[in-house]
Structure 1
Amino acid sequence: MEFKRKPVTDIGIDQTLDKVDSAKIKKAIEWVLNKEASARLKVFVETCLRCGMCTTSCHHYLSHENDPTYAPAAKVKQTVWDILSKKGNVTKEDIKKYARIAFTECNLCRRCVQFCPFGIDIAYLISLIRRICCLIGAVPQYIQDQALSHMQTTNMLWFRQDEWLDTVQWLEDELRGEIKNARIPVGKKDAEILYLAHGLEAKYMTGLLTNMAKIMNVARLDWTMPDMDGWDYTNKAFYAHDFETLGKVVRTHYEVASNLNVKRIVMGECGHAFRTGVYEGVRYLGWKEPPIPYIHGVQFFYELLKEGRITIAHKIKEPVTIQDPCNIVRYRGMGKMLRDIVKQICENVIEMTPKEDHNYCCSSGGGMIDAGPVWKSARIEGGKVKAEQIKDTGAKIVIAPCHTCHKGIEDLNDFYKLGVHVKFLTDLIAETMEIPEEMRP
Structure 2
Amino acid sequence: MNFDADILDRTMKEKAGARLEMWLSICSRCGMCAEGCHYYASDPRPEHVPSYRIKPLLDLYRRRGKVTMEMLETLRDVCYGTCTMCQRCTMYCPHGIGIAALVHAARGVAAAMGMTPSGLASGLQNALEFGNNLAVTEENFVDTVEWQLEELQQEMPDAEAPMDREGAEYLLTFHPRDIKFYPQNLYNYLKLYNAAGVDFTLSTRAWDSTNLGLFAGDVPAASRLAGNVIAAAEALKVRAVITAE
* Structure 1 residue matching 2:53: 3-state secondary structure: helix
CA contact (8 A) 1:54 1:116 kept: yes
1:97 aligned residue (57, 74, 89): 74
Determine whether 1:72 maps to 2:44: no
| Cα offset, 1:36, TM superposition | 3.0
Alignment-derived partner of residue 17 in structure 2: 38
| Cα offset, 1:206, TM superposition | 0.7
| Cα offset, 1:132, TM superposition | 0.5
User: Structure 1 length normalisation: TM-score?
Assistant: 0.53
| Cα offset, 1:265, TM superposition | 1.3
Alignment-derived partner of residue 259 in structure 1: 235
| Cα offset, 1:160, TM superposition | 1.3
| Cα offset, 1:133, TM superposition | 0.5
CA contact (8 A) 1:99 1:138 kept: yes
Determine whether 1:268 maps to 2:244: yes
Alignment-derived partner of residue 200 in structure 1: 177
| Cα offset, 1:205, TM superposition | 1.1
Alignment-derived partner of residue 57 in structure 1: 36
Distance 2:99 2:169 in 1: 39
Can you list the C-alpha shifts for 1:382-409, whole angstroms capped at 9, x where unaligned?
xxxxxxxxxxxxxxxxxxxxxxxxxxxx
| Cα offset, 1:58, TM superposition | 2.2
| Cα offset, 1:169, TM superposition | 1.0
| Cα offset, 1:194, TM superposition | 1.3
1:230 aligned residue (199, 203, 206): 206
| Cα offset, 1:149, TM superposition | 0.7
| Cα offset, 1:148, TM superposition | 0.3
Across the aligned residues of Structure 1 and Structure 2, the Cα RMSD in angstroms comes to 1.5
CA contact (8 A) 2:24 2:54 kept: no
Can you list the C-alpha shifts for 1:23-79, whole angstroms capped at 9, x where unaligned?
x1x334322331233321121122222222223332222322x322221112212x1
Higher helix share: 2
Distance 1:83 1:194 in 2: 43
Alignment-derived partner of residue 61 in structure 2: 84
TM-aligned CA distance change 1:95 to 1:214, over 3 Å: same
Can you list the C-alpha shifts for 1:188-239, whole angstroms capped at 9, x where unaligned?
111111111221121111111111110111112221111x311112111211
CA contact (8 A) 1:146 1:237 kept: no
CA contact (8 A) 1:189 1:261 kept: yes
Amino acid corresponding to residue 67 of structure 1 in structure 2: R
Alignment-derived partner of residue 185 in structure 1: 162
1:244 aligned residue (220, 223, 229): 220
Distance 2:167 2:34 in 1: 51
Amino acid corresponding to residue 64 of structure 2 in structure 1: K
User: What residue ranges of structure 2 are gaps of 5+ in the alignment?
Assistant: none
1:144 aligned residue (97, 121, 126): 121
CA contact (8 A) 1:110 1:123 kept: yes
* Structure 1 residue matching 2:32: 3-state secondary structure: coil
Determine whether 1:211 maps to 2:161: no
Distance 1:167 1:142 in 2: 25
User: What residue ranges of structure 1 are gaps of 5+ in the alignment?
Assistant: 1-17, 270-441
Amino acid corresponding to residue 51 of structure 1 in structure 2: C
Alignment-derived partner of residue 99 in structure 2: 122
Alignment-derived partner of residue 8 in structure 2: 29
Amino acid corresponding to residue 8 of structure 2 in structure 1: I
| Paired-residue identity, % | 28
Alignment-derived partner of residue 141 in structure 2: 164
Q: Count matched residues.
A: 245
CA contact (8 A) 1:193 1:266 kept: yes
| Cα offset, 1:80, TM superposition | 1.5
Alignment-derived partner of residue 47 in structure 1: 26
CA contact (8 A) 2:131 2:225 kept: yes
Alignment-derived partner of residue 176 in structure 1: 153
Distance 1:132 1:185 in 2: 42
CA contact (8 A) 2:35 2:92 kept: no
Distance 2:150 2:211 in 1: 29
* Structure 1 residue matching 2:188: 3-state secondary structure: helix
Distance 2:236 2:36 in 1: 45
Alignment-derived partner of residue 10 in structure 1: none
CA contact (8 A) 1:194 1:224 kept: yes
User: Structure 2 length normalisation: TM-score?
Assistant: 0.94
Determine whether 1:112 maps to 2:77: no
* Structure 1 residue matching 2:54: 3-state secondary structure: helix
